[in-house]
Amino acid sequence: MKTRITELFGIEHPIIQGGMHFVGFAELAAAVSNAGGLGIVTGLTQKTPELLAQEIRRCRELTDKPFGVNLTFLPTVSSPDYPGYIRAIIDGGVKAVETAGNNPQKWLPMLHEAGIKVIHKCTSVRHSLKAQSIGCDAVSVDGFECGGHPGEDDVPNFILLPRAAEELDIPFVASGGMADGRSLVAALALGAEGMNMGTRFIATREAPVHENVKQAIVAASELDTRLVMRPLRNTERVMRNAAVDRLIEKEKQLGVSIRFEDIIDEVAGVYPKIMQQGTMDAGAWSCGMVAGLIHDIPSVKELIDRIMAEAHEIITGRLARFNAG
Protein backbone atom coordinates (compact mmCIF):
# COMPACT_ATOMS: atom_id res chain seq x y z
CA MET A 1 0.00 0.00 0.00
CA LYS A 2 1.54 3.30 -1.12
CA THR A 3 0.80 6.54 0.73
CA ARG A 4 2.74 9.74 1.29
CA ILE A 5 3.88 8.26 4.63
CA THR A 6 5.30 5.06 3.08
CA GLU A 7 7.14 7.17 0.52
CA LEU A 8 8.41 9.69 3.09
CA PHE A 9 9.95 7.03 5.32
CA GLY A 10 10.77 4.37 2.72
CA ILE A 11 8.56 1.70 4.30
CA GLU A 12 6.25 -0.95 2.86
CA HIS A 13 3.15 -0.47 5.03
CA PRO A 14 1.75 2.82 6.45
CA ILE A 15 2.09 1.64 10.04
CA ILE A 16 4.29 3.34 12.63
CA GLN A 17 5.12 2.05 16.10
CA GLY A 18 4.93 4.96 18.52
CA GLY A 19 7.65 5.77 21.00
CA MET A 20 6.82 4.22 24.38
CA HIS A 21 8.77 4.54 27.63
CA PHE A 22 10.45 1.24 28.60
CA VAL A 23 8.80 -0.50 25.63
CA GLY A 24 10.52 0.98 22.57
CA PHE A 25 13.74 -1.02 22.69
CA ALA A 26 15.69 -2.31 19.70
CA GLU A 27 14.00 -5.72 19.51
CA LEU A 28 10.49 -4.27 19.13
CA ALA A 29 11.55 -1.49 16.74
CA ALA A 30 13.46 -3.97 14.56
CA ALA A 31 10.52 -6.41 14.50
CA VAL A 32 8.17 -3.65 13.29
CA SER A 33 10.62 -2.48 10.64
CA ASN A 34 11.31 -6.05 9.48
CA ALA A 35 7.53 -6.53 9.09
CA GLY A 36 7.31 -3.51 6.78
CA GLY A 37 6.35 -0.76 9.23
CA LEU A 38 8.44 1.94 10.88
CA GLY A 39 9.83 0.81 14.23
CA ILE A 40 10.75 3.44 16.80
CA VAL A 41 13.42 3.29 19.53
CA THR A 42 12.42 5.44 22.53
CA GLY A 43 15.29 7.87 23.09
CA LEU A 44 14.80 8.98 26.69
CA THR A 45 14.33 5.42 27.97
CA GLN A 46 18.09 5.29 27.41
CA LYS A 47 19.58 7.26 30.31
CA THR A 48 22.45 8.80 28.34
CA PRO A 49 23.27 9.62 24.69
CA GLU A 50 25.94 6.90 24.83
CA LEU A 51 23.33 4.30 25.78
CA LEU A 52 21.05 5.52 22.98
CA ALA A 53 23.94 5.17 20.49
CA GLN A 54 24.39 1.60 21.73
CA GLU A 55 20.66 0.86 21.35
CA ILE A 56 20.68 2.28 17.79
CA ARG A 57 23.61 0.00 16.95
CA ARG A 58 21.73 -2.96 18.43
CA CYS A 59 18.68 -2.12 16.31
CA ARG A 60 20.88 -1.82 13.22
CA GLU A 61 22.15 -5.37 13.87
CA LEU A 62 18.56 -6.66 14.00
CA THR A 63 17.21 -4.95 10.86
CA ASP A 64 18.45 -3.47 7.60
CA LYS A 65 15.12 -1.64 7.14
CA PRO A 66 14.41 2.00 8.08
CA PHE A 67 13.67 2.67 11.75
CA GLY A 68 13.33 5.82 13.80
CA VAL A 69 13.99 7.27 17.24
CA ASN A 70 11.45 9.02 19.48
CA LEU A 71 12.74 12.13 21.24
CA THR A 72 10.38 13.77 23.71
CA PHE A 73 11.22 17.34 24.69
CA LEU A 74 10.28 17.63 28.34
CA PRO A 75 9.40 20.89 30.10
CA THR A 76 11.79 20.17 32.98
CA VAL A 77 14.24 22.34 34.88
CA SER A 78 17.13 19.89 34.52
CA SER A 79 16.86 19.09 30.85
CA PRO A 80 18.27 15.87 29.36
CA ASP A 81 21.36 16.20 27.15
CA TYR A 82 19.37 16.85 23.97
CA PRO A 83 22.39 17.86 21.84
CA GLY A 84 24.01 14.57 22.84
CA TYR A 85 20.92 12.53 21.99
CA ILE A 86 20.61 14.24 18.61
CA ARG A 87 24.28 13.62 17.87
CA ALA A 88 23.76 9.91 18.69
CA ILE A 89 20.80 9.81 16.30
CA ILE A 90 22.72 11.52 13.49
CA ASP A 91 25.90 9.50 14.01
CA GLY A 92 23.81 6.32 14.11
CA GLY A 93 22.53 6.98 10.59
CA VAL A 94 18.90 7.10 11.72
CA LYS A 95 16.68 8.66 9.04
CA ALA A 96 13.44 9.23 10.97
CA VAL A 97 12.73 10.98 14.26
CA GLU A 98 9.41 11.16 16.08
CA THR A 99 9.39 14.28 18.25
CA ALA A 100 6.91 14.91 21.06
CA GLY A 101 6.33 17.27 23.94
CA ASN A 102 7.68 20.79 23.55
CA ASN A 103 8.24 22.57 20.23
CA PRO A 104 11.13 20.87 18.35
CA GLN A 105 11.93 23.93 16.16
CA LYS A 106 15.34 24.51 17.73
CA TRP A 107 16.52 21.05 16.69
CA LEU A 108 15.03 20.78 13.19
CA PRO A 109 17.95 22.37 11.26
CA MET A 110 20.43 19.82 12.68
CA LEU A 111 18.10 16.92 11.91
CA HIS A 112 17.20 18.08 8.40
CA GLU A 113 20.82 18.81 7.57
CA ALA A 114 21.52 15.13 8.33
CA GLY A 115 18.71 14.05 5.96
CA ILE A 116 16.41 13.02 8.81
CA LYS A 117 12.63 13.19 8.36
CA VAL A 118 10.76 14.51 11.40
CA ILE A 119 7.23 13.51 12.43
CA HIS A 120 5.87 15.50 15.40
CA LYS A 121 3.21 14.18 17.77
CA CYS A 122 0.26 16.61 18.09
CA THR A 123 -3.05 16.48 19.95
CA SER A 124 -4.79 19.33 18.13
CA VAL A 125 -5.15 20.94 14.72
CA ARG A 126 -3.50 24.15 15.94
CA HIS A 127 -0.43 22.27 17.16
CA SER A 128 -0.34 20.34 13.87
CA LEU A 129 -0.39 23.60 11.91
CA LYS A 130 2.43 24.93 14.09
CA ALA A 131 4.46 21.77 13.41
CA GLN A 132 3.88 22.25 9.69
CA SER A 133 4.87 25.93 9.85
CA ILE A 134 8.21 25.23 11.55
CA GLY A 135 9.15 22.61 8.95
CA CYS A 136 8.16 19.21 10.33
CA ASP A 137 7.82 16.66 7.51
CA ALA A 138 4.72 14.97 8.95
CA VAL A 139 2.61 14.87 12.08
CA SER A 140 1.11 12.13 14.22
CA VAL A 141 -2.38 13.34 15.15
CA ASP A 142 -3.32 11.93 18.56
CA GLY A 143 -7.02 11.68 19.35
CA PHE A 144 -8.58 11.70 22.81
CA GLU A 145 -8.67 7.87 22.76
CA CYS A 146 -4.89 7.55 22.89
CA GLY A 147 -2.81 6.18 25.73
CA GLY A 148 -0.38 8.61 27.31
CA HIS A 149 -0.98 12.33 26.89
CA PRO A 150 -4.10 13.21 24.86
CA GLY A 151 -3.86 16.98 25.46
CA GLU A 152 -6.60 19.03 27.07
CA ASP A 153 -9.13 19.47 24.23
CA ASP A 154 -10.76 16.00 24.40
CA VAL A 155 -11.42 15.78 20.66
CA PRO A 156 -11.74 12.16 19.43
CA ASN A 157 -10.31 11.00 16.13
CA PHE A 158 -13.63 10.91 14.27
CA ILE A 159 -13.54 14.71 14.42
CA LEU A 160 -9.84 15.43 14.81
CA LEU A 161 -8.63 13.53 11.73
CA PRO A 162 -10.96 15.12 9.15
CA ARG A 163 -10.26 18.51 10.73
CA ALA A 164 -6.53 17.89 10.30
CA ALA A 165 -7.16 16.82 6.69
CA GLU A 166 -8.99 20.10 6.05
CA GLU A 167 -6.09 22.20 7.34
CA LEU A 168 -2.80 20.40 6.72
CA ASP A 169 -0.68 20.14 3.59
CA ILE A 170 1.94 17.77 5.05
CA PRO A 171 1.00 14.10 5.53
CA PHE A 172 -0.23 12.88 8.90
CA VAL A 173 -0.94 9.56 10.59
CA ALA A 174 -3.79 8.72 12.94
CA SER A 175 -2.81 7.85 16.49
CA GLY A 176 -5.07 6.72 19.32
CA GLY A 177 -7.55 3.87 18.99
CA MET A 178 -5.59 2.13 16.22
CA ALA A 179 -5.53 -1.68 16.40
CA ASP A 180 -6.37 -3.47 13.16
CA GLY A 181 -7.26 -3.28 9.47
CA ARG A 182 -10.51 -1.51 10.28
CA SER A 183 -8.53 1.20 12.06
CA LEU A 184 -6.22 1.66 9.08
CA VAL A 185 -9.02 1.91 6.51
CA ALA A 186 -10.97 4.31 8.74
CA ALA A 187 -7.87 6.47 9.22
CA LEU A 188 -7.30 6.60 5.45
CA ALA A 189 -10.98 7.43 4.86
CA LEU A 190 -10.76 10.32 7.33
CA GLY A 191 -7.74 11.82 5.57
CA ALA A 192 -4.71 10.27 7.26
CA GLU A 193 -1.91 8.60 5.28
CA GLY A 194 -1.37 5.81 7.77
CA MET A 195 -1.59 5.00 11.46
CA ASN A 196 0.56 5.01 14.57
CA MET A 197 0.03 2.21 17.13
CA GLY A 198 1.31 2.16 20.69
CA THR A 199 -0.76 -0.02 23.01
CA ARG A 200 -1.43 -2.63 20.29
CA PHE A 201 2.33 -3.19 19.84
CA ILE A 202 2.83 -3.77 23.59
CA ALA A 203 0.66 -6.88 23.27
CA THR A 204 3.02 -8.64 20.85
CA ARG A 205 5.50 -11.44 21.42
CA GLU A 206 8.53 -9.26 20.63
CA ALA A 207 7.56 -6.41 22.97
CA PRO A 208 10.27 -6.53 25.68
CA VAL A 209 7.85 -6.12 28.60
CA HIS A 210 6.69 -8.46 31.36
CA GLU A 211 3.98 -10.97 30.44
CA ASN A 212 1.75 -9.45 33.15
CA VAL A 213 1.58 -6.23 31.13
CA LYS A 214 0.54 -8.01 27.95
CA GLN A 215 -2.09 -10.07 29.77
CA ALA A 216 -3.47 -6.94 31.47
CA ILE A 217 -4.02 -5.33 28.05
CA VAL A 218 -5.72 -8.44 26.63
CA ALA A 219 -7.95 -8.73 29.72
CA ALA A 220 -8.94 -5.04 29.70
CA SER A 221 -12.02 -3.59 28.02
CA GLU A 222 -12.48 -0.15 26.53
CA LEU A 223 -13.80 0.94 29.95
CA ASP A 224 -10.62 0.18 31.90
CA THR A 225 -8.55 3.33 31.33
CA ARG A 226 -8.65 6.49 33.43
CA LEU A 227 -7.52 10.09 32.94
CA VAL A 228 -5.14 11.34 35.61
CA MET A 229 -3.22 14.58 36.29
CA ARG A 230 -5.95 16.67 34.65
CA PRO A 231 -5.83 19.25 37.50
CA LEU A 232 -2.12 19.72 36.66
CA ARG A 233 -2.96 20.23 32.96
CA ASN A 234 -0.76 17.22 32.21
CA THR A 235 -3.57 14.78 31.45
CA GLU A 236 -2.52 11.17 30.91
CA ARG A 237 -4.64 8.17 29.94
CA VAL A 238 -3.57 5.16 31.99
CA MET A 239 -4.70 1.64 32.80
CA ARG A 240 -6.83 1.50 35.93
CA ASN A 241 -5.16 -0.22 38.90
CA ALA A 242 -4.84 0.27 42.67
CA ALA A 243 -2.26 3.05 42.31
CA VAL A 244 -4.46 4.91 39.81
CA ASP A 245 -7.44 4.63 42.16
CA ARG A 246 -5.30 6.16 44.94
CA LEU A 247 -4.15 8.92 42.62
CA ILE A 248 -7.71 9.80 41.58
CA GLU A 249 -8.77 9.88 45.24
CA LYS A 250 -5.97 12.35 45.99
CA GLU A 251 -7.12 14.50 43.06
CA LYS A 252 -10.66 14.52 44.46
CA GLN A 253 -9.54 15.42 47.97
CA LEU A 254 -6.97 18.09 47.07
CA GLY A 255 -8.79 19.59 44.08
CA VAL A 256 -7.10 22.57 42.42
CA SER A 257 -4.51 22.79 45.19
CA ILE A 258 -2.91 19.48 44.14
CA ARG A 259 0.79 19.56 43.27
CA PHE A 260 2.97 17.05 41.45
CA GLU A 261 4.69 16.26 44.76
CA ASP A 262 1.38 14.95 46.12
CA ILE A 263 1.19 12.16 43.53
CA ILE A 264 4.89 11.47 43.00
CA ASP A 265 4.64 7.95 44.49
CA GLU A 266 2.06 6.96 41.87
CA VAL A 267 3.75 8.44 38.78
CA ALA A 268 7.51 8.84 39.24
CA GLY A 269 9.94 6.08 38.31
CA VAL A 270 7.26 3.41 38.04
CA TYR A 271 7.89 2.18 34.48
CA PRO A 272 10.80 -0.20 35.21
CA LYS A 273 8.78 -1.82 38.02
CA ILE A 274 5.75 -2.32 35.77
CA MET A 275 7.21 -2.99 32.34
CA GLN A 276 10.22 -5.05 33.42
CA GLN A 277 9.21 -6.60 36.74
CA GLY A 278 5.47 -6.93 36.09
CA THR A 279 4.44 -5.27 39.37
CA MET A 280 1.13 -4.13 37.98
CA ASP A 281 -0.01 -1.93 40.88
CA ALA A 282 3.31 -0.09 41.23
CA GLY A 283 1.94 3.07 39.61
CA ALA A 284 0.16 4.66 36.67
CA TRP A 285 1.13 3.43 33.20
CA SER A 286 -0.03 4.65 29.81
CA CYS A 287 -2.61 2.57 27.98
CA GLY A 288 -5.15 3.50 25.30
CA MET A 289 -8.88 2.77 25.16
CA VAL A 290 -7.91 0.53 22.25
CA ALA A 291 -7.21 -2.20 24.83
CA GLY A 292 -10.85 -3.13 24.27
CA LEU A 293 -9.96 -4.21 20.73
CA ILE A 294 -6.90 -6.27 21.70
CA HIS A 295 -7.65 -9.96 22.24
CA ASP A 296 -4.37 -11.78 21.54
CA ILE A 297 -0.56 -11.57 21.64
CA PRO A 298 0.68 -12.31 18.10
CA SER A 299 4.15 -11.80 16.69
CA VAL A 300 4.68 -8.35 15.20
CA LYS A 301 4.82 -9.85 11.69
CA GLU A 302 1.58 -11.77 12.23
CA LEU A 303 -0.07 -8.58 13.49
CA ILE A 304 1.05 -6.36 10.61
CA ASP A 305 0.32 -9.01 7.95
CA ARG A 306 -3.14 -9.46 9.45
CA ILE A 307 -3.80 -5.72 9.51
CA MET A 308 -2.81 -5.30 5.88
CA ALA A 309 -4.81 -8.34 4.72
CA GLU A 310 -7.87 -7.10 6.61
CA ALA A 311 -7.46 -3.57 5.24
CA HIS A 312 -7.22 -4.81 1.65
CA GLU A 313 -10.26 -7.06 2.12
CA ILE A 314 -12.32 -4.16 3.49
CA ILE A 315 -11.30 -1.84 0.64
CA THR A 316 -11.69 -4.32 -2.22
CA GLY A 317 -14.50 -6.40 -0.70
CA ARG A 318 -16.84 -4.88 1.82
CA LEU A 319 -16.58 -1.25 0.70
CA ALA A 320 -16.50 -2.14 -3.01
CA ARG A 321 -19.84 -3.96 -2.59
CA PHE A 322 -21.48 -0.72 -1.44
CA ASN A 323 -20.36 0.86 -4.71
CA ALA A 324 -21.49 -2.00 -6.94
CA GLY A 325 -24.02 -1.26 -9.66
pLDDT tens digits in sequence order for the chain, 325 residues long: 999 999 999 999 999 999 999 999 999 999 999 999 999 999 999 999 999 999 999 999 999 999 999 999 987 767 899 999 999 999 999 999 999 999 999 999 999 999 999 999 999 999 999 999 999 999 999 999 999 999 999 999 999 999 999 999 999 999 999 999 999 999 999 999 999 999 999 999 999 999 999 999 999 999 999 999 999 999 999 999 999 999 999 999 999 999 999 999 999 999 999 999 999 999 999 999 999 999 999 999 999 999 999 999 999 999 999 988 6
What is the reported pLDDT for 325? 66
CA 296/CA 280 separation, integer angstroms: 19
Contact 57, 29 (CB under 8 A): no
Please state the φ and ψ torsions of residue 56, each to the nearest 5 degrees: -65, -45
In the three-class reduction of DSSP (H, G, I as helix; E, B as strand; rest coil), residue 239 is classed as strand
Please give the torsion angle defined by the CA atoms of residues 311, 287, 7 and 312, in that order, rounded to the nearest 10 degrees.
0
Residue 166: CB atoms within 10 A of its CB come to: 9
Q: Does domain 4-209 have CATH number 3.40.50.300?
A: no
List the chain domain ranges.
4-209
Whether this prediction's pTM lies above 0.95 is answered by yes
Helix (H, G, I), strand (E, B) or coil at 169: coil
Q: What pLDDT was estimated at residue 76?
A: 72
